[in-house]
Structure 1
Amino acid sequence: MDPLFSPPLHRQRHQFVIDFVKMNKPKKVVDLGCSECRLLKNLKFCREIELLVGVDLNGATIRKKMHGLAPISTDYLQPGYDQLRIELYQGSVTQKDTRLRGFDLVTSIELIEHLHLADVELFSEVVFGYMTPAAVIVSTPNSEFNPLFPGLAGFRHSDHKFEWTRAEFQSWALKVCLEYGYEVEFTGVGQAPPGEQERVGFCSQIGVFHRLGERDGCNRLFGDDAEDLLSYTLLYSINYPSLQDNNILRRVLVSEVVYWAEKLKRRWMEEKTGARDGAFTLCHTEEGGEERVSEGHMDMEEKQTACGGEMKSPVQKCGRSLSEDEGEEYKEVFWTNGQEQQESCTSPRCVSVPLAVLWSCCPKVSALGGSLSNLRHLLMDDPEVKLSEDGSAVLVYNQEQDQEDEEDHSDLEDSGYAEATQCSHSAVDEEEWEAVRS
């Protein structure tokens, strides 16, 4: 029947559910009669949903299509903040299963017409009386629309046991509301041709049920103290990667910190010879870009950067900060041991990037870290990140310089380079960090 409609009728039904989810934001959703899982594949992109369940009597169909619900590579590379678990069950909608009670939304899209009328009564008891969801969406063919289909004789599908008129569907829905404490709104999808809508209605009629609050005895048929019933067979379950998982959060945070620290180090090394006083601030402007501010050309007001506070030597060499005291001669120095200094006009072996700078320059780092102290805590003991001795900065090594020094390994050992990793630096104190963050 779909070729008569644009978009196809099944997509219109699914879009109706998606729009309802976006508006009402249910966290737990189950699709009864999920078949090939098409609706579930669309609903998994709705961030509000934390638990998405599909149930179908045909286990073979589920097994054939279930892997299409698995996370893809980008879900692991760029996990979101929201949690999502997907479960697929084989079972009949006429049977009770404790795991499906208390959902926010139950959908039954073109399902009940496949049931015998006696089973429709069981369906009503299970869904509305036992599962007691906050909302239910039921769609079913409208038989009054059938004469508009050319060449159609009988039902729209060979497996249909009945097809209701609008009056028959509304009679069933209102009876359900009266018996189980719901209210219902009637609508549909699949518009009739101009001038025919009032006479024949929608091609697929839809009832949207809402539970009328908490009622005494809403589970009177089965009782809240009844034993757990596990009638369905779990065929598939998967947890999507989420930043609420501390291990995933740490992995993504470390990746961002390493990337931005290296980026700031490279930018500093590329531009340092052109900076009059050898110090500049990298931060995001209001437009979302980056800017460099040379301290040698700023007054006190200009030193208030877009990051929200005055920054002193935002990128520092291991052992000391780049300050105005270095003067116009711009002699680059880094510690090689506890007592000596060695000039390195082009390539220091170690650059110290304060966490406060990473915090101000990378919104994702600040969002993932939560706070500067928590950021430092998350980075501690991670093998991919080397922090300064006081934990206030990330130490980034110049790999090119290391490769040059490999040819003279003995000189490297004598230089005390290993001690450079333990050197202290003039870090931004907590008060300045808070000023930058604000």
Structure 2
Amino acid sequence: MPWREGPSYRGWMGKDVHGRTGQDIDIRYITEDEIPLWDRAVARGFMRPHVADGSEFRRLQFEPGRWFGAFDESDGGRCVATFRSFDTELTVPGGATFQVDAITGVTVNATHRRRGLLTTMMSRDLEAARERGSAAAILIAAEYNIYGRYGFGPATRGNGWNIDLARAGGLRAGLPETPGGRIDFVTMEEVRKFGPELHERWRLTQPGAIGRTPLWWRLQTGEVTLPGFDWKEPFAALHRDAEGDVTGLIVYRVDDNWDGGYPNCTLTVASFLALDRATATALWRFALSVDWVRKVVVEYLGQDDPLPLLLNDPRGATPHAEDYDFMWLRLLDVPAAFGARTYGAPGRVVLQVSDPAGYAEGRWALEAAADGTGRCTATDDAPDLELGVSELGSLYLGAETVSRLAAASLVTELRPGAAADADLLLRTPLRAFNPDGF
């Protein structure tokens, strides 16, 4: 998995939002010359040893006006907090995509906490993202209790499986597979050649998926490296149909573990893409039949993937430790976001949304037609449901249900039956999934 890491604007908690905190700390967009300072600060903030200068890699990512640094002028201008963002596309229910602000590299040094540095950087970034036309912002939350303050809510979950091959008994007979299909090992250069187009086709079928840049593929295949993150070449195999078109990719590693003279190896699937069920079946049958392997670990897979049900004994698959909230989402343009996705049933609900930053604040009528299209418009009608912008973010891609959030006292039902009505409206045939850290 990949590593995670001005103008006036809205602010929270009464902080000064014009670049200085009043404590000789200057928050500004960094220049390319300041990348080495930023690189050292982000390693410190993530509590990683700064084993070598990562500036060469970071220059490949650098976008002026998107990287913040907080510099303590009383300490010789040391960089004490970091923040960066970039634009990417997010797939929403129905297959449409729109631009989102992807936030990463967020750190505050332990010596400078509780001074409003994150609040200032987040405020400025979200305002700029809204002005650029981003309908939402996304991030990977290292800690659960931080980002709800800024309007983010969990929008996808990590999901995976540990498969004991002796218990699982392999895949069931008679499952669909592609006539004339074949699987071939490929080099990392071939992954860079064939992987991007395959992923582009796949991500348009999966709500919650985001785009992958050319640099993403270079990093994942070892063409470029970031100091402090060990990279070892994995195994990679492509699936092609009878016409030779690439329809799937599996990337995995195998540990070399023996119990005396008895092989006891674990195969860990790091990446899995399949455009159809027949391709998926062929790739899983391949992964579950590798010599010497006694256990297969699938690190990241969609929650709706039927993999355990493909096994002769589904009890042979137990949940992987990565089963927790993953990508978080914060709405910046409610009409644009809800107008882009499709809906599970016709209907209308009125939402009263609170948002301290103001982007989603208001009363919104969410309406869906029988053909699955919908719209969200401001209204003065009596509200059916009351909720915060964080909860709205969790509902947007289908990660949560209104009824479950209402049971947890995170949504208030103002009209009896409104939660069930909203769940029918927001229902998605495929739960959101994003396998990529950023």
TM range (shorter): under 0.3
Relative to its length, the structure with more helix (as a share) is: 1
Relative to its length, the structure with more strand (as a share) is: 2
Higher relative contact order (CA 8 A, sep 6+): 2
* Larger-Rg structure: 1
Query: Scaled by the length of structure 1, what TM-score is found?
Result: 0.19
